[in-house]
């Protein structure tokens, strides 16, 4: 039986809690009130822990944005909401970082985050708690939905695609949980945000209208993508992903028949970005990629960065115009040059180049079209140096270098086709012959030798 006092409090929360009541809750929760914004207008902004410094440093806004991005990439619901509000530029001090696409990305991620709609369970008996936190999360989601809808209504189809790609990328960096969320976003059995239909902030009657809300159409519902993302989750060894995949297969005969096509698509699937686009709004604070998971595969790959000759990093930095000429060793880089590159990435200006930043240099140059860095990155993915081994991504970057006429890439492509590397589609012997002939006509022999040398340089010698 719920006490009378709790029922009254619950009723007040539903109607919209006053600022005085919110402030009264702060001492009890050990937090401070949430920021002003749509969530507060909807009824109640959930209290936030104190995570930021109160210093008046000139770059305090930049520090706070970076801290929020670290938490948001890790899946923190409240950080995602706050980050979206910042990029929304509602407050005067936030207008310098106004970025509608980025704001919509983080609102969408927050609305798709299970921490925002999953029932709060407390107590040894697993009883659901429908109290203050439950209600304020609901208010936050209602406000986020309203803000997202306004943003999407003003966007072009290209901008909406950019939002969609950024959401897919961020979720893909979260591993199995992110893939499961992507599966729900495409599944007609869930709400528009991958949430239970009864928990969706969108009124079901709006979905049945002639013109459904823009937020409800950001992701297209289709069974192939549901299977694809559940399969990717299951492939990582995730039990929940495997269960969801089997439940999906058993739900209908038609869905079970999608298996072969979806699995083939999964083997060649790569995220929309190599890493988060380091764009900068008017404030000059670039978008930073905080996606690196501290898993064993990631840590082992980064530990091998020293096996990659530094000249490849140096060539990438020269291509990006960070240095005047390619650096042969890390020691030949100046502190100013390193800090300039760190600023490009939106990372702290330590003046010391980290292993991750060495990888980012090659990725950044590859994304911007340098064939040599594209080939190097392909080899890194094939060998698990700096980045976890991923043959689909290796194939992608070999093919990008190949399109620019890189003969070493042609040799690698012929090898991929001939050997049938794991995760590479279209393993056709006839295609292999075509690539081998094409490479031979391009002056293949010396190029093949250079590729073998590169492979040898980044391959770890067996330890005795």
Residue 250 sits in the same domain as residue 374: no
Please indicate, yes or no, if residue 92 is contained in any of the structural domains: yes
Tell me if residue 328 falls in helix, strand or coil.
Answer: coil
pLDDT for 409 equals 79
How many angstroms separate the Cα of 126 from the Cα of each of 56, 119, 120, 122, 229? 45, 11, 9, 6, 30
Q: Residue ranges of the alpha helices (H) in 121-238?
A: 132-153, 157-173, 176-185, 204-207, 223-235
Residue 187 sits in the same domain as residue 73: yes
Mean per-residue pLDDT, 214-225: 91
pLDDT for 422 equals 55
d(CA 74, CA 79): 9
Residue 246 sits in the same domain as residue 374: no
76: left (phi over 0), alpha (psi -120 to 50) or beta: beta
Please indicate, yes or no, if residue 290 is contained in any of the structural domains: no
Residue 65 sits in the same domain as residue 195: yes
Split at pLDDT 50, 70, 90, the class of 3 is very low
339: containing domain: 296-458
Residue 27 sits in the same domain as residue 121: yes
d(CA 154, CA 159): 9
Please indicate, yes or no, if residue 282 is contained in any of the structural domains: no
In the predicted model, is pLDDT for residue 235 greater than 70?
Answer: yes
Give the residue with greater pLDDT, 264 vs 114: 114
Q: Are 446 and 453 in contact (CB under 8 A)?
A: no
Residue 230 sits in the same domain as residue 95: yes
In the predicted model, is pLDDT for residue 42 greater than 90?
Answer: no
Last residue of a domain, one of 252, 267, 282: 267
Q: What percent of the chain has pLDDT over 90?
A: 36
Phi then psi dihedrals of residue 154, to 5 deg: -95, 0
Give the residue with greater pLDDT, 290 vs 161: 161
Residue 207 sits in the same domain as residue 338: no
pLDDT for 428 equals 56
pLDDT for 347 equals 85
Residue 388 sits in the same domain as residue 322: yes
List, for residues 49-97, the tens digit of each pLDDT value. 655 544 555 577 778 888 899 999 999 999 999 999 999 986 656 677 8
Residue 86 sits in the same domain as residue 195: yes
Residue 402 sits in the same domain as residue 446: yes
Q: Which CATH number goes with the domain that contains 393? A: 1.25.40.10
d(CA 4, CA 9): 9
Residue 318 sits in the same domain as residue 448: yes
Give the residue with greater pLDDT, 19 vs 223: 223
Please indicate, yes or no, if residue 288 is contained in any of the structural domains: no
Q: How many domains does the chain contain in total?
A: 2
Residue 257 sits in the same domain as residue 379: no
Least confident of 2-11, 129-138, 270-279: 2-11
In the predicted model, is pLDDT for residue 387 greater than 60?
Answer: yes
List, for residues 144-161, the tens digit of each pLDDT value. 999 999 999 999 999 999
Please indicate, yes or no, if residue 291 is contained in any of the structural domains: no
Please indicate, yes or no, if residue 314 is contained in any of the structural domains: yes
- Burial of residue 263 (number of CB atoms within 10 Å: 0-12, 13-18, 19+): middle
Please indicate, yes or no, if residue 277 is contained in any of the structural domains: no
Please indicate, yes or no, if residue 273 is contained in any of the structural domains: no
List, for residues 351-368, the tens digit of each pLDDT value. 999 999 999 999 999 999
Tell me if residue 121 falls in helix, strand or coil.
Answer: strand
């Amino acid at each position: 039986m719920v006490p009378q006092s709790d029922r009254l409090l619950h009723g007040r929360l539903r109607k919209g809690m006053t600022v005085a009541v919110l402030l009264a809750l702060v001492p009890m929760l050990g937090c401070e009130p949430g920021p002003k914004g749509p969530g507060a207008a909807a009824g109640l902004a959930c209290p936030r822990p104190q995570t930021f410094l109160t210093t008046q440093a000139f770059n305090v806004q930049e520090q706070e944005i970076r801290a929020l991005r670290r938490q948001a990439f890790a899946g923190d619901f409240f950080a995602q909401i706050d980050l979206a509000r910042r990029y929304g530029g509602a407050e005067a001090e936030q207008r310098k970082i106004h970025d509608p696409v980025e704001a919509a990305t983080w609102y969408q991620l927050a609305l798709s985050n299970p921490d925002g709609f999953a029932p709060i369970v407390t107590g040894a008996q697993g009883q659901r708690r429908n109290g203050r936190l439950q209600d304020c999360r609901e208010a936050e989601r209602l406000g986020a939905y309203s803000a997202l809808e306004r943003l999407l209504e003003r966007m072009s189809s290209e901008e909406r695609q950019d939002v969609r790609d950024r959401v897919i990328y961020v979720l893909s960096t979260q591993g199995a949980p992110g893939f499961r969320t992507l599966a729900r976003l495409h599944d007609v059995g869930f709400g528009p945000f991958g949430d239970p239909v009864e928990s969706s902030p969108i009124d079901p009657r709006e979905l049945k209208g002639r013109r459904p809300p823009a937020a409800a159409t950001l992701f297209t519902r289709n069974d192939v993508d549901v299977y694809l993302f559940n399969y990717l989750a299951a492939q990582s060894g995730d039990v929940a992903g495997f269960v969801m995949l089997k439940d999906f297969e058993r739900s209908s005969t038609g869905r079970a028949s999608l298996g072969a096509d979806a699995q083939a698509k999964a083997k060649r699937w790569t995220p929309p970005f190599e890493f988060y686009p380091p764009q900068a709004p008017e404030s000059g604070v670039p978008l930073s990629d905080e996606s690196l998971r501290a898993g064993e595969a990631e840590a082992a790959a980064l530990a091998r960065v020293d096996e990659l000759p530094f000249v490849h990093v140096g060539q990438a930095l020269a291509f990006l115009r960070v240095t005047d000429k390619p650096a042969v060793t890390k020691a030949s880089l100046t502190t100013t040059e390193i800090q300039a590159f760190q600023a490009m990435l939106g990372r702290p200006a330590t003046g010391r180049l980290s292993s991750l930043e060495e990888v980012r240099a090659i990725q950044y140059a590859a994304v911007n079209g340098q064939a040599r860095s594209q080939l190097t990155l392909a080899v890194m993915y094939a060998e698990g140096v700096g980045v976890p081994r991923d043959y689909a991504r290796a194939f992608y970057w070999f093919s990008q270098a190949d399109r620019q006429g890189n003969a070493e890439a042609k040799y690698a492509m012929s090898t991929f086709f001939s050997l049938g590397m794991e995760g590479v589609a279209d393993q056709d012997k006839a295609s292999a012959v075509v690539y081998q002939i094409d490479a031979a006509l391009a002056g293949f022999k010396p190029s093949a030798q250079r590729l073998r040398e590169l492979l040898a340089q980044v391959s770890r010698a067996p330890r005795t």
